[in-house]
Structure 1
Amino acid sequence: MKVQELLEKIAWQENELYNLYKLGETFAVYETPRLAEHFNWLASEELRHRNTVQTFIKEKTLENSAVIDHLDALSLEPYLTDERVEPEDLEDLILEALIREKHSYELYQKLSEILDGSLSQIFRMMSQEELKHAYRLKIMYETVHR
């Protein structure tokens, strides 16, 4: 796998999470209205992540970075095998989102350890944001699961 392919897959996954959260917002309007705003916020976060990664693609930011030497060691299988899902209800959607947030956190954490300087900081920040998303999702799950 090449760096550009990795980044394209990351952008796709961020877009999938964005779509999942927009669907969650729709579900919430009918099932648990107070959660709609949370899904909207999560969607905006994933959109920002996607735009950041798309900038890296366009500017070939990681093309000559240390990531090239570590692509095989990143163990990307869980992240790269996430496919489009069709949750039946809010509970399923939240559980799927939690899995994807975990995969994103792990990948961004690995990238932050491989890279130096501002790129390391960007991926560290994104990994921490994924943790915040997972925490918020857990609270939302408790609200739905009661």
Structure 2
Amino acid sequence: MTMLARVFSIICYVVAGFFFYSVALLAFMELPSLGGKSIVMVGFLVPALLGLWAGFAFSGYRCKLRDTGLVLLSSSGFTAFLIVTFACLLATDDLRRMMAPEALSAFRDYASGFGFLILIFAGGLISLRAGLKKPNK
């Protein structure tokens, strides 16, 4: 594999990770209808999967499980980091006074948010472990 193909595969994996991160954040949003939320999440999931597939294509379809695991783990880790950071910011009174009360009303679906976050973390961990296993000889 050439260096240029490897660079393009990494760029595609970064794009895929961004969209997986976006889907994880969308899972925390509370929308009036479950169907509308599902459509929006699938709409962001399609570019994530296309970016992952493009990364596979540029890398010659080698180490698919390892690369999938790394993308899913990094996007779930970044989402968890963002949630902890936001929770710490909300713990201060200064930020609460500056924000309108309705500004946080959209992010209240903790069950689906943490459920999806655990799902992509577990999927990433399983994929990474399966991709790093060496064949028994």
Q: TM-score range by the shorter chain?
A: 0.3 to 0.5
**TM-score scaled to structure 2, two decimals?**
0.35
Larger radius of gyration: 2
